[in-house]
Amino acid sequence: MTSSPGGLSDPKFLTIAEVAAVMRVSKMTVYRLVHGGELPAVRVGRSFRVTEDAVDDYLRKSFYDAG
């Protein structure tokens, strides 16, 4: 499959460790989010991959007004 220039690009997949680094949380926290269904992930062999878009969506939905 090829992507057309200017069209939809292939999703960028992140490892659990990369997601944890982006979100500044532990890997266990990311695993809990994945297993709890809050963060969609794809299983590849024995590991999980999460798209950058899924991380962005989760963080966007998680913001709340604290004051």
| pLDDT score, position 63 | 84
DSSP 8-state code for residue 39? S
Task: Tell me the per-residue pLDDT of 8-67, one tens digit each, with 9 for 90 and over.
Answer: 578 899 999 999 999 999 999 999 999 999 999 999 999 999 999 999 999 999 887 666
pTM of the model: 0.79
- Phi and psi for 39 in degrees, rounded to 5? -125, 110
Close Cβ partners of 45 (under 8 Å, ≥ 6 residues apart): none
